Amino acid sequence: MDDENSNLRWKNVLLVAFGQKKMFKRFIPAVLHLFIYVAFLFTQIELLEIFVDGIFGTHRFFADKIGFLYPLIISTIEILSVGAFVATIVFLYRRNILKLPRFTMAEMTGWPKKDGNLILLLELVLLVGVFTMNGTDVLLQEMDPKHYPDSGFLAVSSWLGPLLFGGFEQSTLVFLERAGWWLHILTVFGFLNYLAYSKHLHIIFAFPNVYYARISSRGEMENMPEIMNEVKSMMGLIDEVAPDPNMDAALPNFGANDIKDLGWRDLLGAYTCTECGRCSSVCPASQTGKKLSPRKIMMDVRDRVEEIACNIDSKNEDFKIDQSKVLNIENYQDGKSLFDRISKEEIHACTSCNACVEACPVMINPLDIILDLRRYEILTESTGPQDWLPMFNSIENSGSIWQLPNSRAEWIEESN
């Protein structure tokens, strides 16, 4: 990878993955998401102190060590957390009350819907823990300054604490402060364990996915040298290719039938998918009522990976191709493929316009997977939509997509 490409990739990581650049094509959702995103980043500072206090038995370890910076940092976190609270409520409203079309498509029923709501609810629980801990602590600093170091004026808790918890007994405040502390840290631990099963794995995978995303022109398709040379030979653009001495060898598979035929970037993209539906909301096929949804393509690939992984982990020898070898992805078969999840009607509906690629906020490319599935259907299975077959026959017979009786280059000979 040359330095120029590397610089461009790091620029994409900085602007797209870290800076959320592509989110701002829809300004209001982008601002709301930004509050949650930035609050998440800044809260890690307070979380560090929570870990230190939990390990060493201290209380607000940094409060008396960094001076005026402490209330400034905590106040910033609180202001961002209020914005995150508002954004979370709005997002729950959009999903469950307003029911925006991209959140109610067929693939967003069942677990995907529950997953999105659960993450938002965990965000609310996290914020309740933070403000309960900080709000009660502000009151306890006045009652027992020996055990509760002065944190300075906090932008939200200094007035929210007395408003919500004023008049409570000290013992009650101590209990609530500890409850808020434990609620916060247990929610974080719970989220970290849940992350691997959730679409929010994108907070980790978005960065490598953006870095390794295609940086060439979006209209440029990956070339297949075997097919290119065959077509050139057929059209007389090169000398006829010498016959292969291994003519009896099995024909290669073109395109993708299952996940092992896809590239690792495609699989990374499947696990990076945020299920936001921006790709499907701009897809012309989806918007005109056709079955295709680019988001579903990515979700289907991820689900197929999970299905195969679970079967391999089961050590069930029924999934082996060769019983004498170990069960792994190369020695695996279950009689299924991606076509059991993704119908041919879906891949035929794609116009290859790249609207989904342009819309994705983390630079996932569903089109590459669709094209690989098409290539397998047409080149390996020798099938395809009936409307396409006359075009293929015309190209093979006359070098033109139109069914004309004369050779495509005949007009040149006549002019001479």
Query: For residue 223, what pLDDT band results from cuts at 50, 70 and 90?
Result: confident
Q: For residue range 30-50, what is the model confidence (pLDDT) as tens digits?
A: 999 999 999 988 888 889 999
Mean pLDDT of the chain: 89
Dihedral over Cα of 332, 333, 337, 341: its sign: negative
Q: What is the mean pLDDT of residues 256-273?
A: 95
Residue 92's CB: how many other CB atoms inside 10 A?
17
Whether pLDDT at 409 is above 80: no
C-alpha R_g of the chain: 29
- AA letter at 371: L
pTM of the model: 0.85
Query: What is the phi/psi pair of residue 316, to 5°?
Result: -70, 115
Q: For residue range 266-287, what is the model confidence (pLDDT) as tens digits?
A: 999 999 999 999 999 999 999 9
Predicted pLDDT at 225:
80
Whether pLDDT at 197 is above 70: yes
Q: What is the mean pLDDT of residues 374-396?
A: 83
Q: Which of 345, 366, 371 is nearest to 356 (CA)?
A: 366
Predicted pLDDT at 175:
97
How many whole angstroms separate alpha carbon 370 and alpha carbon 152?
57
Intervals of CATH 1.10.1060 along the chain: 252-385
How many whole angstroms separate alpha carbon 354 and alpha carbon 370?
11
Question: Could you give the residue ranges of the DSSP H alpha helices within 288-387?
Answer: 294-313, 344-349, 355-359, 366-375
How many whole angstroms separate alpha carbon 100 and alpha carbon 96?
8
Residues 62 and 49: beta-carbon distance below 8 Å: yes
Q: For residue range 342-376, what is the model confidence (pLDDT) as tens digits?
A: 999 999 999 999 999 999 999 999 999 999 999 99
Residues 6+ apart with CB under 8 A from 170: 140, 143, 144
CATH 3.30.1120 fits 252-385, yes or no: no
Whether pLDDT at 408 is above 70: no
How many whole angstroms separate alpha carbon 45 and alpha carbon 72?
12
Whether pLDDT at 393 is above 90: no
Query: For residue 249, what pLDDT band results from cuts at 50, 70 and 90?
Result: low
Distances (CA, A) of 31 to 21, 181, 274, 315, 366: 11, 29, 17, 47, 26
40: DSSP letter: H
How many whole angstroms separate alpha carbon 91 and alpha carbon 33?
9
Most confident of 3-12, 188-197, 211-220: 188-197
